[in-house]
Structure 1
């Protein structure tokens, strides 16, 4: 059983979609299929049920997945032990983040860490908050970054490394565009553009207007911040977003939000059982020291034990 085949199996088992798994691990779909078939031949058991429209794990596949993460983690530990004997830090680090953070916050941190530890291979994946937590929990990701503070779980630790200012995005010709700041009472009659229920950006909106008894009308629900900002530019409504997510479109004005919860935390999440790996430990410390993107206000917090 080859380790690269096992890594590919874990990627497919996580996504239950060969196309998405191939994109995530940077392989052609044909290569992913060939590696899965080779692993099945080696184990003499089908790992996926391919009869339906959706890929499913067989019982044998589920049992392999139960062991796969531990096997891969032990492999990384072995690499780290060998690297420690030669006074180098090596291995692979899979980092995840919300798309906004991957595009703005994380590149400087990854570049700095990569220059300081060239033997560590870095991988970056963009995903939603729920998928990021699941990835850290399963071992598909070593560390992830997201807005907000995640729910407490026994196996996951998190630490707030920064706070990002919330702003209201308005069309450039809006009646409030000339103000210095904007608060709930200014927006009671304004149509708002929001993301779908369950999204972290939607949660920011719901939380911001929860305590004042003022809730603007929701005009549209959209699937992305980029789509929301394009519609703001067209005059379809306003939006509440983190400043770092604001586009540079000249047709949009962003004003600081002065209501409750005017800032949103940026959290770093990792698995407590894997946090002692040298590469993980060094990356966590690098993030604490270097994570100062944009106008965010870094804040040190004690991680959950």
Structure 2
């Protein structure tokens, strides 16, 4: 079987679009369409349904995805073994990560990779932990970054590369030298949507106090939360890196206590897929990025 047919099918299945798949693979749209149609003839059934809202995978197509990925992973391993000595990595690496990492950590990673290996491209997309891990599992992403108080429970391969400290912030009005969860529970809190581990932990701390009557609002964006906190609509918990500029300018201030444990940063990859040279380049740069961000050890 021509593995180009499998690559075209997987690209369409991931993107839900023949046009996007053609752009990803560097083919014309008609070529991708032809590949999928030929594969459907060879397998004797429809793999994709073309709907007005986009392309969706059929039951047969869904069963094919895992097997196609295994075949292509084996092909990638063979290519890596037989690659000429001194050849440069190339390809696209698809990464899903929390919004704060996409905004404040990954641009430096992309810049470093581009400078060292210009033929390696990185596509980043913000996403919650559930969507990110599921995308790696389904093959629609090569790598997920998680930022949680605890390591996620998953069948994917995990590697811890660092931590990100968390802080509590408000809009600038002082509320005392030391603040307790009970005191915070009496004020309006603006938290990331449910499913974010550290925000859920904060919500649990507030609920455990039995105090009130502060309101709890959930948002899908850290940037939206910061804007609301800045105009006095409440306080929040967020990664320190995402509020550095606002704290320096005085727009936001750190609430003194209670302390929050740092979030662990994990890289999640598929255990059955061979990490090709392009992905290895990105993984190595991510390790270096968080190694540089660690505070120096005290003697």
TM-score normalised according to structure 2 size: 0.76
The answer to whether 1:288 aligns with 2:287 is yes
Provide the residue aligned with 1:268 in structure 2: 267
Contact 1:100–1:245, Cα closer than 8 Å, also in 2: yes
1:41 to 37, 40, 45: 37
The answer to whether 1:240 aligns with 2:237 is yes
User: Which structure features the higher share of helix residues?
Assistant: 2
Q: Aligned in 2, Cα 1:116/1:261: closer, same or farther, shift over 3 Å?
A: same
Tell me the alpha carbon deviations over residues 41-100 of structure 1, each in whole angstroms, 9 at most, x when there is no partner.
Answer: 2133432234586753223322332322223323432332233x3133524333332221
1:224 to 206, 221, 224: 221
Contact 1:147–1:267, Cα closer than 8 Å, also in 2: yes
Provide the aligned C-alpha RMSD in A: 3.7
Contact 1:187–1:216, Cα closer than 8 Å, also in 2: no
Query: 2:97 & 2:3 partners in 1: Cα distance?
Result: 26
Structure 1: gaps spanning 5 or more residues: 300-305
Structure 2: gaps spanning 5 or more residues: none
Query: 2:29 & 2:125 partners in 1: Cα distance?
Result: 21
Contact 2:189–2:234, Cα closer than 8 Å, also in 1: yes
Secondary structure, counterpart of 2:160 in structure 1: strand
Q: Aligned in 2, Cα 1:111/1:5: closer, same or farther, shift over 3 Å?
A: farther
Aligned pair count? 287
**Comparing 62-71 and 269-278, the one that deviates more:** 269-278
Structure 1 residue 226 displacement after superposition: 1.7
Query: 1:205 & 1:32 partners in 2: Cα distance?
Result: 50
Provide the residue aligned with 2:110 in structure 1: 110
Structure 1 residue 109 displacement after superposition: 2.6
Contact 1:161–1:268, Cα closer than 8 Å, also in 2: yes
Provide the residue aligned with 2:202 in structure 1: 205
Provide the residue aligned with 1:57 in structure 2: 57
Structure 1 residue 147 displacement after superposition: 0.6
Structure 1 residue 270 displacement after superposition: 1.9
Tell me the alpha carbon deviations over residues 105-155 of structure 1, each in whole angstroms, 9 at most, x when there is no partner.
Answer: 12223333343344544333332221211222233333221211443334x
Provide the residue aligned with 2:152 in structure 1: 151
Query: 1:208 & 1:282 partners in 2: Cα distance?
Result: 40
Contact 1:91–1:119, Cα closer than 8 Å, also in 2: yes
